[in-house]
Structure 1
Amino acid sequence: MMFPSKAFLSILFVMLSSADASPLRSDARKATLSFAARVNARGAVNVAAADRARVQAMKQAGSMGKRAGKSSFSITNAVVTYTAQVGIGSPATEYTLIIDTGSSNTWVGANTPYNPTATSVDTGNTVDVSYGSGSFFGEEYTDTVYLSNTLVITGQSIGVASSSQGFSGVDGILGVGPADLTESTVSNVDIVSTVTDNLYSQGVIDTEALGIYFVPPDASDSAGELTFGGHDSSKITSPVTYVPLTTTSPASSYWGIDQSISYGGSTILSETAGIVDTGTTLVLIASDAFSTYQTATGAVMDEATGLLTITSGQYDKLQSLTFKIGGKTYDLTPNAQIWPRSLNADIGGSSSNIYLIVADIGSDSGSGLDFVNGYAFLQRHYSVFDTTNNQVGFANTPHTDDKSN
């Protein structure tokens, strides 16, 4: 049976606990997958450039339509990544897989070889996926997958890499994005059912929804969780409010929503389409909105990190950044707008500097993907990705107003 890993090579370590609530029904079945979050230590890292490259590739893939196939985006260069220990086969071999809401193929073999067992079936199909700076090619198998003792999937499509590039220290990816992103990735197959799809279709969970709870890295409570089939009501301080997925392309190819953003009560980005993405570290906004934000805060650009930096005096005057999503507003307080100072060195920054987590997406508003609510937003607000009802939900948490950064 599957079991949580006892150790991860990471700078920022977060083990996740169990949950017992659903976004739609209090008696629904649900379960939690333990995982670790880490900030990749690579010396001087231009964190904004890494995020920008990811979103630009996502835009390109999304604009090509749902059959983007081999034109995907970079996961391997992400500054913050999330890994789970996943068992495959019977008896199960354990693999370290990146959890990603922006891709949907699940595959192994980048480091630990795939070990076929009695539950493994070679379909004869090939799998070929590119992630910008990384890629893999191999065969498709179906097999039993153990996400945890209570999250067991039979007949899950698994890519088995015969060759891969760019995946150091991990074995592959656990894709939890929209299933349409798998189109044209597996020969002789239209759309591949994701792990979330199969958990739902096999009756393991009652709602095809994924709840994610992150916390600021320097918070006194370092626990977080990822829940299949619902959300954990004990981790939120407000009701979960849902909004429909956007219909605007290319944001509509991912977990896309419509929102507006204001700073200090003044709108800097009118309502437009963008995405919610665990694989993006920062909050990225359209270039025109970014320019307005930089002027309002008085920040200057730090070329080493790619982030805006402010003085202590400017920090004292920093105002809230407000996201209006549907009829609800969600604030990033002044403390939530700064990079955790204890992690400055991990992005090539100075320990004495104050860096902002808002960055330029690289194009003006009106592109169809004008913002990304990344990890910096999600560590302050609970998120629910609901496939059953084509919606995304948010709620405040005990860490929404933290001053730990």
Structure 2
Amino acid sequence: MFPAASLLTTLLLALSIAASPVEVRNSPITLPIARKLNVPNGTINLLQRDKARVAAIKGRSFDTLNRRAASDSVPMTVDDTVWAYVAQVGVGSPATTYNLIIDTESSNIWVGAVKPYVQTSTSINTGQEVGVGYGSGAFAGTIYKDTVTLGKGLTITNQSIGVASNTSAFGFGDADGILGLGPISLTMGTLNNSPVGGVPTVTDNLHSQGTISQDVVGISFKPITSLTGTSGELTFGGTDATKYTGSIAYTPLTTTPPALYYWGINQSIAYGTTTILSTTSGIIDSRTALIYIATDAFDKYQSATGATLDAATGLLSVTSDQYSALKNLDFTYDNNTFSLTPNGQIWPRSLNTYLGGSSSAIYLVIHDLGSTSGSGIDFLTGYTFLERFYSVYDATNGRVGFATTKYTNATTN
């Protein structure tokens, strides 16, 4: 017979294994996404648009009496995003295809920005008004319930979807709206006269309808090197092991407000061997271009790199010698470190002129969040980080994960 202590140890180990979150690898449910860049006048208002989005994220109210993200009178406009990834999504039966921007910082799905919503036999007008703010713009409209199709035959029935009441173009080419992939908490208050009600997200309904076994989305991006030609992938219900190397390192969602309402985590940031931001809370956002850190951390980063603010672009600029001396920027949580290489810290030089900058300059993608650490959101990790790593957003287990990819250490900029 086994000693009692051994039996207890075995039982506890078994319970621990049973309680551990299960990662679904190689999910067959994928949706390709294509990058779109908005360069209407030949230049990108990168910092202006990013700053508006950051301000909206930091300033959003989450109290139960004032969660509405867009006023009743706001017309349907969306901030002129510098770039975004767009997926083709079908709505209705037969489906009308809409090009929707992928967004991890919002959770509503809506259409009608360019291509009008087409009602079919599956359309149900709930009469409920909806509005969402995004920074320099917002959309307002009506909630319908309809069939939504993702990729090849991945169908969601009775999905709540916003239909814009104003279908004027919102300055982003052929994008027709947004596919929000954030937590359901970000839909709270988006329904008029319903301050505490939420709207089930696309991934929530995929899970509740049994199409996917876990409420999880994996996202694969690629580094930007040109205005066109880069693609990515969404994986629903699990991850795509062909898109990353090694294993995924997960960390629990933060409990610190207001980051807890987003895909928020706790982590520290170090430049070389110097910690510039002690463990604190922040968020992951696929539609913000740059990487924003608290002012005190930004000042340390600027001092350590020797960078100066460029008047033309508003970005930090370094000389060739300073670039050669750049050290890794390390993002660490739960003893897992993801290093942004020197090349990963600079803006793609092939796109310098689109910023209104010099083609020979070297601009950094790290910028000032505009508030000191301790605010509840002390970093905002944007696309220029996510293009170097595979990211996973796991609502079932309340966690976010990252893994390295073949682009993590690539020299693309």
1:91 to 68, 85, 94: 94
Kept in 2, the 8 Å contact 1:66–1:181? The answer is: no
Q: CA deviation at 1:132?
A: 3.1
Report the counterpart of residue 22 of structure 2 in structure 1. Answer: 24
Q: CA deviation at 1:47?
A: 2.1
Distance 1:306 1:59 in 2: 20
Show the 5 A alignment for 1:44-83.
44-62=43-61, 64=63, 68-70=67-69, 76-83=79-86
Q: Which amino acid aligns with 1:248?
A: T
Kept in 2, the 8 Å contact 1:300–1:310? The answer is: yes
Q: CA deviation at 1:281?
A: 0.5
Cα deviation code 1:267-323 (max 9, x no counterpart):
011111000110110110011111111111111101222210111111111111111
Show the 5 A alignment for 1:295-310.
295-310=303-318
Show the 5 A alignment for 1:145-164.
145-163=148-166
Q: CA deviation at 1:40?
A: 2.0
Distance 2:192 2:106 in 1: 18
Three-state SS of the structure 2 residue aligned to 1:34 is strand
Cα deviation code 1:245-285 (max 9, x no counterpart):
00111111110000100111110111110001101101100
Report the counterpart of residue 315 of structure 1 in structure 2. Answer: 323
Report the counterpart of residue 373 of structure 1 in structure 2. Answer: 381
Kept in 2, the 8 Å contact 1:85–1:147? The answer is: yes
Q: Which amino acid aligns with 1:308?
A: L
Q: CA deviation at 1:52?
A: 2.3
Three-state SS of the structure 1 residue aligned to 2:247 is coil
Kept in 1, the 8 Å contact 2:70–2:190? The answer is: no
Distance 1:27 1:76 in 2: 35
Q: Which amino acid aligns with 2:118?
A: N
Three-state SS of the structure 1 residue aligned to 2:234 is strand
Kept in 1, the 8 Å contact 2:113–2:170? The answer is: yes
Q: Which amino acid aligns with 1:217?
A: I
Structure whose CA Rg is larger: 2
Three-state SS of the structure 2 residue aligned to 1:342 is helix
Kept in 2, the 8 Å contact 1:283–1:376? The answer is: yes
Q: Which amino acid aligns with 1:100?
A: D
Kept in 2, the 8 Å contact 1:44–1:349? The answer is: no
Kept in 1, the 8 Å contact 2:27–2:235? The answer is: no
1:201 matches 2:208: yes
Length, aligned pairs only: 381
Kept in 1, the 8 Å contact 2:288–2:382? The answer is: yes
Cα deviation code 1:145-186 (max 9, x no counterpart):
111124210100011111256723321111111112112222
Question: Which TM-score applies when normalising by structure 1?
Answer: 0.89
Q: Which amino acid aligns with 1:36?
A: A
Distance 1:91 1:66 in 2: 40
1:334 to 317, 335, 342: 342
Show the 5 A alignment for 1:4-403.
24-26=22-24, 30-42=28-40, 43-62=42-61, 64=63, 68-70=67-69, 76-163=79-166, 167-168=170-171, 169=173, 170-187=175-192, 190-218=197-225, 222-403=230-411
Question: Which TM-score applies when normalising by structure 2?
Answer: 0.87
Distance 2:354 2:68 in 1: 33
Say if 1:114 and 1:75 are closer, same or farther in 2 by CA, change over 3 A: closer
Gaps of 5+ in 2: 1-20, 72-76
Distance 1:362 1:25 in 2: 37
Distance 2:118 2:199 in 1: 22
Gaps of 5+ in 1: 1-22
